Amino acid sequence: MRVDAALASLREGRPVLTVDSTGAGAVVLAAHGVDMKWVAWTVRHTSGLLCAPMSEARADELDLPPMVPRNQVTLDDQYTVSVDARHGVTTGISAVDRARTFRTLAAPCTSPADLVRPGHVLPLCTHSGGVFERLTHPEAAVDLCTLAGLPQVAVLATLVADQGHVLPRAGIEDLAAKHTLPVLDIAELITYPRRAEYAHRGARRAARLENRAVPAHLFP
């Protein structure tokens, strides 16, 4: 199934291209272990605005308050203050620096003190019900990380064409074929038959990651 292919890609540190009901596509990566190469690739094929969807619980753990007191965005995207990793970054905007910030956000041992505010990565709180509550790219990204047994923090950016408009479905399929990447319609997560099995397995894997006391700033 395509969901299985997407989960395998995330575990390998590779992207998944997700498509919503409007046909808009996005790049999704697991923030845990993401490397500079794929962050640079994502910047090249998107608007360059890279978000970090995460559970609300994770945002609370990292002391990431809402960007504004009253959200006026039509899609109800819940952005927090922007961040950079405190350790091992320079300007914060390079692919190397943003990859480190994403890894820091996902590392179980990261504390609020390991982040500086503002920065160049935009965390984004998702709804606890995932795609069952809100059928959008951020919820799909966190659900995929959960099902893959990875920390519930993702890398997300909207795909755009060279002309600057949102990449159409045909372009998404072409890009996926060129780079051997899986494409997934978000709605497929609703009917995924192995969802309960993967959620249980993911909880066990997340617990193992939680026990790894590796300082976030030591990730390469």
The contacts found for 206-215 with CB under 8 angstroms, 24 or more apart, are: 206/146, 206/149, 206/150, 206/151, 206/152, 209/32, 209/108, 209/150, 209/151, 210/108, 212/108, 212/109, 213/109, 214/107, 214/109, 215/109
Residue 215's pLDDT band (cuts 50, 70, 90)? very low
pLDDT at 73 over 80: no
Residues 6+ apart with CB under 8 A from 90: 97
pLDDT tens, position by position, 155-193: 999 999 988 899 999 999 999 999 999 999 999 999 897
Residues 4-48: tens digit of each pLDDT:
999 999 999 999 999 999 999 999 999 999 999 999 999 999 999
**pLDDT (mean) for 110-119:** 98
Fold entry, domain 2-218: DHBP synthase (3.90.870)
As a whole number, mean pLDDT of residues 137-148 equals 96
Q: Where are the domains of the chain?
A: 2-218
- Which helix (H) or strand (E) covers residue 11, if one does? helix 2-11
